[in-house]
């Protein structure tokens, strides 16, 4: 049974490899905020006994961008120096690390907080929805990008704002996913006062990005644009574990029962796909798959903030079937990005 299912899946892999055969493994596509698939699926890359993997939330910066890059996720100078070195590297370090983790293809995005303007890069100027829509179209149609990643709110505006309707319309027309990634909070709420360690990746980014996603769910974005696909990292920023409560409390607040397809849980299952970036926890993975379905969870690392080999070992050893492992590691990403 296992071998026949694997055979079925390898058909998808073979097709994807044929489509990507024209790319050199070091042939980086231009791009920052847009998602560029950057590494070809070379057979020589696959480590023995491992599942093929695509990783979607892998970050980079450039010398010009690094000047404006201020986020510092660690108090350790040594660790931060290594992160900076790895962010700016596209060859030796990155490829070695991918090879050791058995990762065939990495989808790169500029690390948070992102750039303001860079003439040679695809970048979505979220300050202007029409310009962002035009740039996304250029990135997808002319540069071959597979989607885009947005680092949270822009000047205090979240993506459910009416000003973004033209942007979402274009996203739906282009049929590409948008990765909603944590960014800096627009303010510093009292609940984090005196606890700076909570006001970042440890917790605040989860709250910020989870809330941003829920703004889209409750703000009607998916009623207007039902075909949108939003990717959330970090095992879904806790949303998969709260579906029952969203449905329960929302219907309580409304004072009426909603039709099944209008429930927050249904919208989240329909319009969101998550990655395992930064959460190497088999129990959380199992719960996320149970909540969202095996087609809606994808492997990622969050390189260079997380350790690639730890992430690879986690997904390789997770107690899931080989069929589901192949979907999470590879097949779902191929489907979503049309590789």
Chain contacts with Mn ion (rule: CB under 5 A): 57, 302
Residue closer to Mn ion, measured from CB, 110 or 320: 110
In the bound state, the residue with its beta carbon closest to Mn ion is 302
- The distance of closest approach from Cβ of residue 55 to Mn ion in the complex, given in angstroms and rounded to an integer, is 11
According to DSSP, the residues that pair with 297 across neighbouring strands are 274
- The distance of closest approach from Cβ of residue 303 to Mn ion in the complex, given in angstroms and rounded to an integer, is 9
- The distance of closest approach from Cβ of residue 314 to Mn ion in the complex, given in angstroms and rounded to an integer, is 16
Taking a C-beta distance cutoff of 8 angstroms, is the pair 277, 306 a contact? yes
- The distance of closest approach from Cβ of residue 135 to Mn ion in the complex, given in angstroms and rounded to an integer, is 21
Residue closer to Mn ion, measured from CB, 160 or 302: 302
According to DSSP, the residues that pair with 150 across neighbouring strands are 180
- The distance of closest approach from Cβ of residue 309 to Mn ion in the complex, given in angstroms and rounded to an integer, is 18
The 3 state secondary structure assigned to the chain is CHHHHHHHHHHHHHHHHHHCCCCCCCCCCCCCCEEEECCCCCHHHCCCCCCCCEEEEEEECCHHHHCCCCCCCCCCHHHHHHHHHHHCCCCHHHHHHHHHHCCCEEEEEECCCCCCCCCCCCCCCCCCHHHHHHHHHHHHHCCCCCEEEEECCECCECCCCHHHHHHHHHHHHHCCCEEEECCCCCCCCHHHCCCHHHCCCCCHHHHHHHHHHHHHHHCCHHHHCCCCCEEECHHHCCHHHCHHHHHHHHHHHHCCCCCHHHCHHHHHHHHEEEECCCCCCHHHHHHHHHHHCCCCEECCCCCCCCCHHHHHHHHHHCCCCHHHHHHHHHHHHHHHHCC
Q: Which two tokens stand for residue 74?
A: 């660690």
Q: How many alpha carbons lie under 13 Å from residue 241 in its C-beta half-sphere? A: 11
- The distance of closest approach from Cβ of residue 148 to Mn ion in the complex, given in angstroms and rounded to an integer, is 14
Q: How many alpha carbons lie under 13 Å from residue 157 in its C-beta half-sphere? A: 15
Residue 119's contacts (CB-CB under 8 Å, 6 or more residues apart) are: none
- The distance of closest approach from Cβ of residue 261 to Mn ion in the complex, given in angstroms and rounded to an integer, is 32
Q: Out of 187, 247, 302, 307, which one is annotated catalytic?
A: 302
99 given a catalytic annotation: no
Any idea which residues carry the catalytic annotation?
Answer: 302
């Amino acid at each position: 049974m296992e071998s026949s299912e694997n055979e079925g899946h390898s058909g998808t892999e073979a097709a994807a490899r044929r489509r990507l055969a024209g790319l050199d493994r070091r042939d980086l596509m231009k791009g920052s905020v847009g998602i560029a698939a950057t590494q070809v699926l070379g057979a020589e890359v696959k480590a023995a006994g491992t599942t093929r993997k695509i990783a979607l939330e892998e970050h980079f910066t450039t010398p010009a961008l690094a000047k404006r890059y201020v986020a510092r996720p660690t108090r350790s100078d040594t660790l931060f120096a290594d992160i900076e070195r790895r962010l700016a590297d596209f060859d030796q370090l990155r490829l070695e690390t991918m090879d050791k983790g058995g990762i065939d293809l990495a989808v790169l995005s500029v690390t948070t907080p992102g750039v303001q303007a860079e003439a040679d890069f695809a970048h979505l100027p979220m300050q202007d929805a029409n310009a962002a829509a035009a740039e996304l179209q250029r990135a997808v149609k002319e540069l071959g990008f597979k989607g885009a990643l947005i680092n949270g709110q822009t000047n205090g505006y979240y993506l459910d704002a009416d000003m973004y309707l033209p942007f979402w319309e274009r996203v739906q027309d282009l049929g590409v996913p948008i990765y909603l990634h944590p960014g800096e909070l627009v303010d510093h709420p009292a609940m984090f006062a005196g606890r700076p360690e909570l006001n970042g990746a440890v917790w605040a980014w989860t709250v910020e990005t989870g809330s941003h996603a829920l703004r889209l769910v409750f703000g009607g974005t998916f009623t207007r644009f039902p075909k949108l696909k939003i990717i959330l990292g970090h095992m879904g920023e806790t949303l998969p574990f709260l579906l029952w409560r969203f449905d329960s409390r929302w219907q309580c607040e409304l004072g009426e029962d909603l039709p099944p397809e209008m429930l927050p849980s249904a919208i989240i299952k329909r319009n969101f796909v998550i990655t395992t970036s930064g959460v190497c926890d088999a129990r959380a993975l199992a719960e996320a798959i149970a909540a969202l379905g095996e087609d809606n969870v994808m492997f990622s690392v969050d390189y260079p903030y997380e350790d690639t080999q730890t992430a690879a070992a986690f997904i390789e050893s997770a107690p899931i079937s080989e069929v589901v492992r192949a979907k999470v590691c590879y097949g779902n990403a191929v489907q979503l990005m049309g590789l």
